[in-house]
Amino acid sequence: MVIRLSMLSLTLALAITAVLLGAKYPTGPNTISFDQPILLLISIGMVVALFLPPLILAFFDHTVVRIISTIYQAFIVFTFVVLIPVGFFIPSVWVIGVGIAGVLVSTGSILATVVEGKRGVCRLRPTERKSPARRYLVKGTINKAGQFIVNWPACFISLIFLPNKLQAKARKYCARS
């Protein structure tokens, strides 16, 4: 839940940054600008209101809620993808950078939403918190036939963040499926 909330908060900060950059580089008389601060605050308020559903849904661990949140966040990724060509029309490197960062963070938020609460996910956790070695184990689920099931994309993502010495041990556990 903390990962999902932090990723969504970072995406919200990038969306507000995109609104502020749009106000800094107005393309015409009918767009938002710093000359009209009330309209700018209304635009930022609308962005925050549009981010409330995924922020609220991040508190729940039900599969259906995660699917709804993922679909909603896919629209947010699409808006950041549209922002990249807009940066070329303005032309502004900052708008393009915010668009690319928004796509990357939003995609990471979707992955965090899908992968974090899924059953059968390969999770690497310390077995002994007081141990200086901090041994890591890969967890999965055992189905009705007694087979160990591991979600490979999650296993791969988890292996990226491990130190090199522990990757071989984790790969051994991931290979059990």
The token duo for 112 is: 């965090």
At 123 the pLDDT is 45
**Per-residue pLDDT tens digits for 63-82:** 888 889 899 999 999 999 99
- Residue pair 10/91 in contact (Cβ under 8 Å)? The answer is no
Low-confidence ranges of the chain (pLDDT < 50): 118-143, 146-148, 151-154, 157, 176-177
Q: DSSP code of 146?
A: S
Between CA 61 and CA 113 the distance in angstroms is 9
**What is the C-alpha to C-alpha distance for residues 144 and 107, in angstroms, rounded to an integer?**
33
Pairwise CA distance, residues 29 & 31, whole Å: 6
Q: Report the distance separating Cα 140 and Cα 78, nearest Å.
A: 33
Enumerate the domain spans of the chain. Answer: 2-116, 123-174
Question: Model pTM?
Answer: 0.63
Run of H or E residues at 148: strand 148-149
Under 8 Å CB-to-CB from 97, ≥6 apart: which residues?
A: 87
d(CA 18, CA 102): 9
pLDDT at 135: 40
Sign for the pseudo-dihedral over CA of 126, 127, 132, 136: negative
